Structure 1
Amino acid sequence: MDLAYIPSPSTGVIHLGPIPLRGYAFCIIIGVFVAVWLGNKRWIARGGTAGTVADIAVWAVPFGLVGGRLYHVITDYQLYFSEGENWVDAFKIWEGGLGIWGAIALGAVGAWIGCRRRGIPLPAYADAIAPGIALAQAVGRWGNWFNQELYGKPTDLPWALKITAGPNREAGLYHPTFLYESLWCIGVALLVIWADRRFKLGHGRAFALYVAAYCAGRGWIEYMRVDEAHHILGLRLNVWTAILVFLLAVLYIVISAKVRPGREEIVEQKKDDTAEKPAADGDAEEKAVEDAEAKDAEPSDKAETETEVDVEADVEEKHKDGAGNGAGTGGR
């Protein structure tokens, strides 16, 4: 008899009249809010303005959801396009199935578009949002708990996850891999925050640290899972993906630290700064006008002075001539 285990919810959806409220969707939404909230605080601390992270997230989140779903459908195509399956189910994202690799890759494209529109460097934005993404994943993994999916091998540990019988699953006690990954992601977020404060990571290195740390945990957690997956040389596809992405992230950290050491001093041009610039230009223009007027006035003053001198010289000369003529007449 099992005295301790983690129960699974009897259902992953609650109907509020005709409106279904799905636990998986709620976890994704809450995770997005956590990522934007923390990212906004970190962005402001680095010299950015409030609201910028949310503005760019408007681009990044939809792209990320599409990318995550595409990765899942492509790598698990047999669930939707094999004989007896309904391909329409590929669009039912609320039933679960988001690949983090595709979500990050295509989400980065959306973030790049948003950053270009705001004139912000993407690496700086990625550094600010990195711990928030890890926390979003930690929250989002609880969506798998609501759907009773992505669990590990059978176990009798006191924290085993109880799974009930259902489509494509057998009742029993299994490793709660969703919980393992959730806790790991929280640790990754704390690691990135600490390392960023300690070493002043910049130019995308905080984001690369998040990627490397997540991949290190995803590798062993993925190895424990028993859900259907493609295998290459005896390892699950996602394990190979984690190894490859881990190596790329570490390589980026090493090269970036040598090529672009330190951290960006300015991550966003604030509106106050741009407002001061036209005023300064106006002052300079006004000064230039005054200088031009003074310059134009100089020749006029000089001309008046020269005229006065000439008049005085003529008067003096006439006076001398008159005096001379007077003296000559008296001598005769």
Structure 2
Amino acid sequence: MGLLAAVAPAAIPSPERSIWWLGPLPVRGYALAILLGILVALWMTSHRSRARGGTGQEIYDVAVPTIVLGILGGRLYHVLSSPRPYFGEDGNVLDAVKIWEGGLGIWGAVALGALGAWWATRRRGLVFLDLADAMMPGLLVAQALGRWGNWFNNELYGGPSDAPWAVQIHRMGAGGEAVRDADGQAVVLGTFQPTFLYESLWCLVVAVVILVLDRRLRFARGQVLALYLMGYTLGRFFFEIMRTDPAELVLGQRVNVWVAIAVFLLGLALYVWRGRVGDLPPRGPRPEVEEPTPA
């Protein structure tokens, strides 16, 4: 135990800045995490689409409306579920549009992103549930990567902790850098439960479980989507309870606790319903069509 204490860090360090500059261009850690998540999700979804009978190209055809509406929906949900920084007594309503400073709510992103995907699939004659089922593992990995944007911002943590995996949090200034004391050292608020890390790891676990089950079982259309809704919210319920950042309360609990319960039940109902419908998707790559040879 003494050797472990001597070798292991006292806490997970956090960056002292969340913004870097390339000339006049700001490069934000939060945005990089989101962008990396989007790219990985597109690659994974394209691969799964081909394995499920698609071409893989259709994923990129519907990506733009899905991503744009997803980001807008995520920001809208965040602003509406945490209105005080924007509409409160000391709030600034103009900050509501500053997506680059962080603050995206996953359920708004999923809802409006799904609307964009539904619209795009209808225009191209595709089956929305096939796309959604192919997308879910990649979405979970994107969420896992995106949570590290909270690490760059020194946010999304729980109560104080002295565990070796606790995260060190700095007092961050408006310019994306840690506030400095008289000696020029970054001001440390303390070490806390890294709920962003717990959620990131949980998303990866749920993604692996879904991938394994989808290889071994034959799910009806929409059931993989339902597994995502149930699996993610099962963890989010507990992580949300652990968080200590300001949030709107309903019946003594954070709004997102109740949303997690509601979405879990929605996922359960969707899983049962789609199982009863028994609408099975195609499996395997699309068969090659031989070109006729010229006479």
Q: Same fold (TM over 0.5)?
A: yes
Larger of the two Rg values belongs to structure: 1
Determine whether 1:172 maps to 2:178: no
Which position in structure 2 is the counterpart of 1:38? 44
Question: What is the aligned partner in structure 2 of residue 239 from structure 1?
Answer: 257
Q: How far apart in 2 are the matches of 1:167 and 1:247?
A: 40
Given that residues 53 and 283 in structure 2 are in contact (C-alpha distance below 8 angstroms), is that contact kept between their aligned partners in structure 1?
Answer: yes
2:184 aligned with 1:184? no
Pick closer, same or farther for the CA change 1:252–1:201 going to 2, 3 Å. Answer: same
Map of 1:252 onto structure 2: 270
Partner in structure 2 of residue 299 of structure 1: none
Aligned length: 274
Secondary structure at 1:171's aligned position in 2? strand
Amino acid at match of 1:235: Q
Residue number among 55, 59, 84 corresponding to 1:49 in the alignment: 55
1:193 — aligned with what?
211
Correspondence 1:98 to 2:104: yes
TM-score, scaled to structure 2: 0.88
Distance, in Å, in 1 between the alignment partners of 2:188 and 2:245 is: 11
Task: Report what 1:72 is aligned to.
Answer: 78
Give the residue type in structure 2 aligned to 1:148: N
- Residue 144 of structure 2: which of 138, 144, 154 is its match? 138
**Residue deviations 1:81-124, cap 9 Å, x none?**
12232211111111110000000000000000110121111001
Query: Which one has the bigger helix percentage?
Result: 1
CA distance in 2, matches of 1:170, 1:113: 47
Q: Which 4+ residue blocks in structure 1 deviate beyond 6 angstroms?
A: 266-270
**In 1, distance between residues paired with 2:215 and 2:272?**
18
Q: Would the aligned equivalents of 2:230 and 2:268 in 1 still touch at CA under 8 Å?
A: yes
Q: CA deviation at 1:211?
A: 1.1
Q: Contact 2:51 / 2:283 at 8 angstroms: preserved in 1?
A: no
Distance in 1 (CA, whole Å) between partners of 2:284 and 2:112 is 23
For residues 38 and 30 of structure 1, the distance between their equivalents in structure 2, rounded to whole angstroms, comes to: 12
Match of 1:19 among 25, 40, 46: 25
The answer to whether the Cα contact below 8 Å between 1:124 and 1:267 also exists between their aligned partners in 2 is: no
Aligned match of 2:34: 28
Name the residue aligned to 2:220: 202
Q: Is the 8 A contact 2:14 2:168 kept in 1?
A: yes
Matched residues in 1 for 2:171 and 2:127: separation? Answer: 49
Whether contact under 8 Å (2:168, 2:188) holds in the other structure is no
TM-score (ref. length: structure 1): 0.78
Q: Aligned-pair distance for 1:55? A: 1.3
CA distance in 2, matches of 1:22, 1:187: 27
Q: In the aligned structure 2, how far is the partner of 1:265 from the partner of 1:144?
A: 39
Following the alignment from structure 1 to structure 2, what is the Cα–Cα distance between the partners of residues 170 and 92? 26
- Alpha carbons of structure 1 residues 175 and 132: separation in structure 2 relative to 1, 3 Å: same
For 1:180 and 1:4, the matched residues in 2 are separated by 18
Relative to structure 1, is the Cα distance of residues 164 and 86 closer, same or farther in structure 2, using a 3 angstrom cutoff?
same
Q: Which runs of 5+ in 1 are unaligned?
A: 280-332
Where structure 2 has 5 or more consecutive residues not aligned to the other structure, the ranges are 175-186
Q: Percent identity?
A: 49
Q: Indicate which of 144, 153, 156 corresponds to 1:150.
A: 156
Q: Distance in 2 between matches of 1:3 and 1:249?
A: 40
* Counterpart in the other structure of 1:295: none
CA distance in 2, matches of 1:4, 1:119: 55
Q: Deviations over 1:211-268 (max 9, x none)?
A: 110000000001000000111122111010000100110111011101225x212799
Q: Does 1:264 align with 2:281?
A: yes
Partner residue of 2:180? none
